[in-house]
Structure formats: C-alpha cells, structure tokens
Amino acid sequence: MIVTTNAIVFSTVKYAEADLIVSCYTESSGLKSYLLRNVLKSRRGKVRTSHFQLLTQLELTAIHKDKGTLERIKEVKLLRPYQSLHTDVVKSAIVMFLSEMLKMSIQEEEANPQLFGYLQKSLNWLDSNSSIANFHILFLLNLTAYLGFYPDVTTVAGKYFNLQEGYFEDSPGAIASEEGLKVEALKGFFGIDFDDLDRVKLTKTTRSEVLNLILLYYKLHLQAYKNPKSLLVLNQLFN
C-alpha cells in the first residue's frame, strides 16, 4: 500500500556498503523502519541522506506492507526546515539525547495523532527559542502522559515521590522513593508549558539531579529502557 504521511526521524544505521536503515515515527502508522538502498552513494535521487538527520520532520511517500519487515520510501520532502536544531551545539546534543529516548520509549506501529502533534510542537519550539536549559526535562515529563505513566499531580503535596507507583506521599514507600531538593524542583515543572521555562530556576547540579530522577522514573516504567549514550555529552555541555 502506498502511503503519504508526515514523519519524524528517530535513528539511522548504516547497512552494508551503501544502504541505510532508518527508523521514523509516522503520523499514519506509528513507528516504521525503512531500508534505503544505495542512498549513501546517491547524490541526486529523490531520497538523500541529508533528509534523515535526527528528529527531522519529513513528508514521506512510502510503500507499507505492514508485515513487520523493512518498508520502502519512494519520495521524501522536508516538512519543516530547521533553523538551529542541527547547527547549535547545545541543541544538537539535546536532539541526540531525545532521539535515543524516543527510540526506546515508542514502539507502537499504530497512529497516535496526539503524540505526533506533541513531538512536532515541541521540536518546533526548541528550534525557535534560545532559553532551552530545562527543555529536555519538561519534554520528558510531558512525554510520560502519552506513554501512560504521568505522575499523579493530585498528590503533589507529599514530601516523597514514589517512582514505582507514580505519586507523592508523606512517608517513604517500600521501593524507589525519593525526597529532597530534586523532588521539589521536579514539582515546578507540573502544569507549565515551554514558554514558562524561564520561570524554573535551577542550578546545574539540581538540573542534573532532576534529569537523573526522571530517567530513573523511565527505567522503572519502560521495559526497553537503556541508559542513553548521549547523556554524558549532554551533561558536559550543561555543566
């Protein structure tokens, strides 16, 4: 079946001498993997490697057989040319980190227009703004709402964050319960959008601790979780 759909690039892997395997999150069909034959040798074709930088937004015309095998792309167009996402050093590090997190978090091969819209809106904001030190924290926190484990904010008055159950409580739970400045800082991200990020004031140390707290939360709720390799680079840039 020939499908035309918007898509966001999650990852690329070289295959053989001149091929690429590209993982994209599509608006029509969820996560899809495509085999691009001889794309590393071709410079004038309708499908070029320059289209497939991480988290690039594309319009794809593809053949989907929907049999769990690698699909094929016929044509590709840039849906939104980024102005800074792949040229700004800090933003590029965030892109690498988020693409790893998205690849391990989203596995479904089915349409989820709300999630796709959230990804588009978030990436467009990141591309267009400069106050981005806390962007990745709010992005990952909000993403949990689409993944099904957003914390229960009705319990936010509690001192301890029970990561296993996803709520706050007045005394520590038996497993994976955290307290302290990082928990209070995390609470500052509830109920805000990206335009409000300037109101969240964190030291470098606290920002790192909040991020590690969220990653632990992901680890407890995602079977496919692996520590992102790009985390070290991200921490070095922000520290």
What CATH number is attached to the domain comprising 162?
1.20.1440.120
Q: What is the mean pLDDT of residues 197-221?
A: 95
pLDDT of residue 44: 64
Token look-up 């990561």 returns 163
55: left (phi over 0), alpha (psi -120 to 50) or beta: left
Give the C-alpha separation, 22 to 33, whole Å. 6
- Of the two residues 92 and 68, the one the predictor is more confident about is 92
pLDDT of residue 175: 82
Q: What is the mean pLDDT of residues 55-81?
A: 92
**Which of 80, 107, 128 represents a domain boundary (last residue)?**
80
Task: Provide the domain limits for residue 65.
Answer: 2-80
Same domain, 223 and 149: yes
Same domain, 204 and 122: yes
Is residue 137 predicted with pLDDT exceeding 90? yes
Helix (H, G, I), strand (E, B) or coil at 89: helix
Same domain, 54 and 171: no
pLDDT of residue 18: 85
Q: How confident is the model at residue 232 (pLDDT cuts 50, 70, 90)?
A: confident
Is residue 99 predicted with pLDDT exceeding 90? yes
Q: How confident is the model at residue 110 (pLDDT cuts 50, 70, 90)?
A: very high
Same domain, 180 and 151: yes
Question: Considering its fold, how many domains does the chain have in total?
Answer: 2
Overall size of the chain counted in residues: 239
